[in-house]
Homo-oligomer: A and B are copies of this chain.
């Protein structure tokens, strides 16, 4: 006597419907149902319709685990960002979603909190999911992480910064050029004593400082005493604090470039509180052009970064890589735009 619980593989009482059940209902073999549902080569039009109908009636949703196991390929793409508190990455993520989800790809978000070790862990764990692709932020990572990515053979696109190493695909802009642009703008306004204030100290923040310094050196205006860097996480509160600190040490500073808009916003608010005239006494330029920056008092000048475009293009490039299509430009420089408003 057969056990009442026995599933004989082609008919079951409950639980999620399987491909077998869909196939049975449509009167075809499971493999045909599979092909029909995936829109793969050569299935008669009529059968496709029947299978789709059966699937819809049953509310069939493929089991991703079985799919991944059988094909050694998941339908997911892993995106690793250093933070979600920075609107920059949220916007980039949105753009990535917009490109990838319509292709039936799941986007797995990993936040590594600006920690190389955490990023390495995430890479190790997520690679186990056999993702179709990888979208990574910047080029600063452990050797071990680098090797895992390389060894996995999973297509990968790097976002935000640029690197011309062969075989590497990236979408971003030159962080150094951005720093230089800020300096040149401030210099063009006739300011002489110019400071760079940065927090977080990830590689990109450092690179912007580097660009800023180079431009000042070229103009013969570089003074290391006007560089204020801290590893603490960037925030509005910290911006005000660093502004006070810088002014206490260097009362004659004439212009400040902040590595992030939240720092610059904090400085603007602190200046307001102290009655320091911006831009008359001190010019302020931020970086990223957060949505709120244009509404500050005075309206914050900032370097607008193409974060949505970076996300979109990175995702599109990844799609091409996955499909084996040739990539015209492995290094895509999307540039940036200096938004001159009231603060400089």
Contact = CB atoms under 8 A, between A and B. Distances in A.
B108 A295 contact: no
B294 A273 contact: no
Given A84-B84, A128-B63, A265 B237 contact: no
Interface stretch (A64-72, A168-176, A187-195): A64-72
Interface in A100-117: 106, 108-109, 111
Interface stretch (A85-93, A248-256, A330-338): A85-93
Given A237-B292, A269-B296, A296-B269, A74 B65 contact: yes
Copies in the complex: 2
* Interface of chain A: mostly helix, strand, loop or mixed: helix
B295 A64 contact: no
A57 to B, nearest CB: 15
Contacts of A295: 236-237, 240, 266, 269-270
Contacts of A266: 292, 295
Contacts of A240: 295
Given A65-B68, A69-B63, A69-B66, A291 B236 contact: yes
A139 interface: no
Interface residues of A, number: 45
B124 A61 contact: yes
Contact of A61 (B69, B93, B128, B273): B128
A165 interface: no
A21 B270 CA distance: 62
A64 B106 contact: no
A222 interface: no
A267 to B, nearest CB: 10
A272 interface: yes
Contacts of A64: 65, 128-129
A34 interface: no
Given A84-B90, A106-B125, A109-B109, A291 B65 contact: no
Contacts of A65: 64-69, 74, 129-130
Contacts of A87: 85
5 tightest Cβ-Cβ pairs between the two chains A and B: A65-B68, A236-B292, A65-B69, A61-B128, A84-B90
Interface of A: 16, 61-69, 74, 84-85, 87, 90, 93-94, 97, 106, 108-109, 111, 124-125, 127-130, 235-237, 240, 262, 265-266, 269-270, 272-273, 291-292, 294-297
7 contacts: A62-B128, A63-B69, A65-B67, A65-B129, A65-B130, A84-B84, A272-B272
